[in-house]
């Protein structure tokens, strides 16, 4: 078991901002460890891996699954979570991030942050001397994408060559799925209406990365082409937390043809699965029939957030001598 649980030393003290800088092998290692952790949730090999450490959880935006799953992951590894809201700290009163990050790094082993703007997280990473973990920004949602591909791997037994189709807003989930698809050999289709498609520079990067792994990246406004013969259908809310509510009605109207309903799911493969990061706005981006149907694996997907987060924390923050001696 010690060999199975051995740490990947290249991940030591690495931040998770987008996973664009992580290698396919590093991502695969994290996913493998997550599955081992899930299969042996009470293994003593993990129980004290981060003992004596403290990890900060900072929330500028609301959270349910991320807050609970990260706190459980942290404490099940033997560390303690220090949780605070952005607007209840000096950050909310305008303290510069470069000051907060340098101070916080002297108190904790890592910082998990959910923030509105991706540049805010980049600023944390620039000034913090400890690893910074992206718990969601307007550009990326890496831990959710890790949970998604773990769920796909569990269901199909492999990932390479599968067609994963995301239907809806070209948001942080679309971006993160392109990153991981390109890294892991998935064929990722993003179907979004004109004006709401992913950033062109990120699409270009993903296509370049995909050439190294045999993946394919497609961005289209044709939702039916995206869904056709898909192994996996994914969606997210039409309006993200950082969206301007004044333009919300216009955006929703553009998104309605991209709803995942039984008709769209019927275009996918008979054994296709449905993913959603939750919370879902039932009747908007997805119907009850699909979300509660037999092809939905959204609750397995939600559980897997715990395991991928626990795995990343383990690889990034655990001391190899302590693990091997445990």
The rounded distance, in Å, linking the Cα atoms of 66 and 226 is 29
Query: Is 305 one of the annotated active-site residues of the chain?
Result: yes
Buried b (16+ CB within 10 A) or exposed e, 182-203: bbbbbbbbbbbbeebbbeeebb
Q: Which of 148, 236, 259, 309 is catalytic?
A: 236
CB count within 10 Å of CB 134 equals 26
Q: Which of 141, 231, 276, 315 is catalytic?
A: 141
Query: Is 54 one of the annotated active-site residues of the chain?
Result: no
Q: Which residue do the tokens 């679309």 mark?
A: 174
Query: Do 75 and 46 contact (CB within 8 A), yes or no?
Result: no
Query: Is 28 one of the annotated active-site residues of the chain?
Result: no
The rounded distance, in Å, linking the Cα atoms of 124 and 33 is 27
Q: Which of 216, 277, 309, 315 is catalytic?
A: 277
The torsion defined by the Cα of 116, 117, 118 and 120, in degrees rounded to 10, comes to -100
Q: Which of 114, 118, 139, 231 is catalytic?
A: 114
Query: Is 259 one of the annotated active-site residues of the chain?
Result: no
Query: Do 257 and 234 contact (CB within 8 A), yes or no?
Result: no
Q: Which of 53, 71, 122, 144 is catalytic?
A: 144
Query: Is 93 one of the annotated active-site residues of the chain?
Result: no
Query: Is 29 one of the annotated active-site residues of the chain?
Result: no
CB count within 10 Å of CB 131 equals 24
* Interhelix angle 172-184/200-213, nearest 10 degrees: 20
Residues contacting residue 271 through CB under 8 Å, at least 6 positions apart: 231
Query: Do 92 and 161 contact (CB within 8 A), yes or no?
Result: no
Q: Which of 216, 305, 309, 315 is catalytic?
A: 305
52 closest CA partner among 310, 321, 315, 319 = 319
Query: Do 211 and 145 contact (CB within 8 A), yes or no?
Result: no
Active site residues: 114, 141, 144, 236, 277, 305
């Amino acid at each position: 078991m010690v060999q199975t649980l051995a740490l990947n030393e290249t991940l030591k003290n690495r931040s998770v901002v987008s996973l664009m800088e992580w290698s396919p092998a590093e991502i695969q290692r994290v996913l493998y460890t997550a599955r081992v952790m899930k299969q042996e949730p009470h293994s003593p090999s993990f129980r004290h891996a981060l003992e004596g450490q403290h990890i900060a959880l900072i929330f500028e935006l609301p959270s349910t699954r991320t807050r609970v799953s990260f706190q459980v992951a942290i404490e099940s590894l033997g560390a303690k979570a220090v949780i605070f809201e952005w607007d209840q700290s000096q950050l909310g009163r305008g303290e510069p991030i470069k000051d907060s990050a340098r101070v916080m790094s002297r108190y904790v082993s890592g910082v998990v942050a959910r923030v509105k703007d991706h540049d805010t997280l980049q600023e944390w990473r620039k000034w913090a001397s400890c690893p910074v973990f992206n718990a969601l920004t307007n550009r990326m949602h890496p831990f959710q994408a890790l949970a998604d591909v773990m769920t796909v791997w569990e269901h199909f037994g492999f990932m390479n060559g599968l067609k994963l189709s995301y239907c809806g807003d070209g948001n942080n989930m679309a971006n993160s799925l392109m990153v991981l698809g390109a890294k892991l050999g998935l064929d990722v289709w993003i179907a979004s209406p004109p004006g709401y498609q992913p950033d062109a520079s990120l699409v270009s990067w993903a296509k370049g990365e995909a050439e190294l792994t045999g993946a394919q990246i497609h961005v289209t406004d044709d939702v039916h082409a995206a869904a056709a013969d898909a192994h996996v259908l994914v969606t997210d809310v039409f309006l993200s937390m950082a969206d301007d509510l004044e333009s919300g009605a216009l955006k929703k109207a553009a998104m309605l043809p991209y709803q995942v309903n039984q008709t769209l799911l019927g275009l996918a493969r008979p054994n296709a699965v449905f993913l959603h990061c939750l919370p879902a706005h039932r009747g908007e981006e997805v119907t009850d029939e699909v979300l509660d149907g037999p092809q939905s694996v959204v609750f397995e997907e939600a559980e897997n957030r715990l395991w991928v987060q626990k795995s990343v924390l383990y690889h990034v923050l655990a001391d190899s001598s302590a693990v091997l001696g445990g």
